[in-house]
Structure 1
Amino acid sequence: MSFDPEYHEDAPTKEDIGQTTGKVVLDFGANWCPYCQEVSPALHSLLSEADNVQHIRVADGKGKPLGRSYRVKLWPTLVLLKDGKPVAQLVRPSADTATRELAAFLEP
């Protein structure tokens, strides 16, 4: 899987996310956010080599429906999903926390 370093405005809908299969990392943040930039290398390291996960980076902000549906208030927020259902949510994790939690999530 290739790692996309940019957060994108064209977010999927909550219904689209609910219909996903397999493992998904829904990554809410902003391209200018220093916290997001700090965690990004750890995400890149893990997710660029993961074949069993889909990574969706969503540019979040006030009034954005997808972020609000997951109660996102701080960036980055990582929502870990399996078959469309949230299994964990990491709110502004440190690089170490993100690495540890994602490594466990990515195990087969």
Structure 2
Amino acid sequence: MTMNSSYTDQEPPRAEIDILKGPTLIEFGTDWCGHCKAAQPHLASAFDEHPDLRHLKIEDGPGRPLGRSFRVKLWPTLIFMRDGEEVERLVRPTDAASIRQAMARIDS
């Protein structure tokens, strides 16, 4: 699986996320968010080293149940998961190195 380029408004139920096997990156944000746009080159660079990492790019906002279940407050919020468990979280990342480091923790 490769990096997704746009946010989907079709969010899976939290129960489906909790049973995912293997490494998963969930990215919460919106297409119009300046911080989200600024993070995209850093994400793309990090995905170069982890091309098979599952990437769920979920549009977030008020009343969106999945984002609320993860207590997302700022965008983008990156949730790094392994086997349905949160391992690390980055909020508004500004460099590829921190994203790569978090990816390495779940994609080993």
TM-score by length of 1: 0.88
2:67: which partner in 1?
A: 67
Q: How has the CA–CA distance of structure 1 residues 62 and 97 changed in structure 2, closer, same or farther, with 3 Å as cutoff?
A: farther
Answer yes or no: is the 8 Å Cα contact 1:22–1:52 preserved in 2: no
Q: Quote how far apart the aligned CAs of 1:98 are.
A: 3.7
**Structure 2 residue runs without a partner (length 5+):** none
Deviations 1:72-97 (A, max 9, x none): 01000001100001011111121245
| Distance apart, 1:3 and its partner CA | 2.0
- Measure the CA separation in 1 of the matches of 2:97 and 2:77: 12
For the structure 1 residues 2 and 107, does the alpha-carbon distance in structure 2 shift closer, same or farther, using more than 3 Å as the test? closer
Map of 2:77 onto structure 1: 77
The answer for the alignment partner of 1:34 in structure 2 is 34
| Alignment RMSD (CA, Å) | 1.8
Aligned-partner Cα distance in 2 for 1:50–1:35: 22
Matches within 5 A, 1:85-100: 85-96=85-96, 98-100=98-100
Number of aligned residue pairs: give it.
Answer: 108
Distance 2:81 2:87 in 1: 5
SS at match of 2:15: helix
1:25–1:3 CA distance, 2 compared to 1 (3 A): same
Q: Secondary structure at the match of 2:72?
A: coil
Structure 1 residues not aligned, in runs of 5+: none
Counterpart-to-counterpart distance in 1, 2:60 and 2:44: 19
1:102 to partner: Cα distance: 3.1
